[in-house]
Amino acid sequence: MKKILLFPFFILVPVLIQAQPWFDVGLKGGVGTSFMYNSQVFEDQLVVHKFMPGYAFGAKLGFNFIQEHQITFDVMKSTFKQGFTYRPEGWQESTDALREITVDGLDLLLMYRGNRNGTYFEVGPQWSTYSKVKYSDNGGDYLSPLTSDQLVAKSNFGLAMGFGGYIVGTDNFGITTGLRFNYMFNDLASAEGRDANFPIMQPTGKTNITHNIGIMFVMEMNFDFGYLVSPTCGERKKLFVF
């Protein structure tokens, strides 16, 4: 087992010895949408998904160990929203009833990013904590005696991946845009939420896991604050840039 764990380290050692690492920091933000996937929604069709906008903003710290490879750590404040339309029993309105669920959270992502020819691909784990849940429903009270914060788990774990390109920049400053996707492995619903059959909120005699899926257009501004430059023609071997 130890040999297996050490194998990636031995592979990286020759690369890191020859590498000229630098760090970068960045500000980033994005807009997108999310999808609370629960198989009951499609099987029973008691409610229908309605896409709602979401957003995120935060900061990034990147470690570049060679030009093509980078490890980044992102901290993002996020808000995602899901709507559901449905027709309650006895509903007389011409339009469907609308239920909206809004979740505020903090996302921590550790990403590998590969850079090539002005484009990038990234993948890595995401850990999210949820601090506030808003719930509204003009079709009736399906929430009591619970509060909205009791519907959703306190945290979740998933996988994020994305791709994009560098659109403008200088030697130590750049702006990138791209798309990022995430899929959360654990149930978005808490134990109380599962008892209430979240997000259907109607008894069906069964419960299913709700996976949150997101897609976001992301813009990022990066600044290299320290790097090494290879020696050429008598230039200084090391240069620290502010």
pLDDT tens-digit series, residues 201-238? 988 888 899 999 999 999 999 988 765 444 344 333 33
Residues 52-110 pLDDT 10s: 999 999 999 999 887 788 999 999 999 999 999 999 888 888 899 999 999 999 999 99
% of the chain residues with pLDDT over 90: 62
What local confidence, expressed as pLDDT, does residue 203 receive?
85
pLDDT at 205: 83
The model carries a pTM of 0.81
Structural domains in the chain plus CATH codes? 20-227 (2.40.160.20)
SS3 assignment for the chain = CHHHHHHHHHHHHHHHHHCCCEEEEEEEEEEEEEEEECHHHHHHCCCEEEECEEEEEEEEEEEEEECCEEEEEEEEEEEEEEEEEECCCCCCCCCCEEEEEEEEEEEEEEEEEEEECCEEEEEEEEEEEEEEEEEEECCCCCCCCCCHHHCECCEEEEEEEEEEEEEEECCCEEEEEEEEEEEECCCCECHHHHHCCCCCCCCCCCCCCCEEEEEEEEEEEEEEEEEECCCCCCCCCEECCC
